[in-house]
Amino acid sequence: MKRRMWIRENDIVLVSPWDFDHKRADIVWRYIKDHADWLETNGYMKPSGPLAPGTAAEQAARAAAAQQQSQQATTTSSPPPQA
């Protein structure tokens, strides 16, 4: 990057590790959200974000959806009360 720029948490950046110190790297580019979305939809980058496949949040969302579906199935499958 030619100028100084703020890097925030969850930003997508392209880095170049230093040859002599692998714990440090130069930030080559910072992608804005629209560009990162384009890279994901065109297959240049794996999906990222809180609900990306394989993340803990995505697994929790799937578990919550499955639990909700099972609760709906048990409430709709019970027979109506006798009068």
The whole-number pLDDT of residue 17 equals 92
Tokens 């579906």 locate to: 69
Report which residue type is found at 10. Answer: N
The whole-number pLDDT of residue 44 equals 85
Q: What H or E segment, with its residue span, contains residue 46?
A: none
Show contacts of 9-14: CB within 8 Å, 24+ apart: 10/49, 12/36, 12/39, 12/45, 12/48
Residue, of 4 and 54, whose pLDDT is higher:
4
The whole-number pLDDT of residue 20 equals 93
**Would the pTM of this model clear 0.75, i.e. be above it?**
no
pLDDT in tens, 15-58: 899 999 888 998 888 888 888 888 888 888 877 665 566 556 66
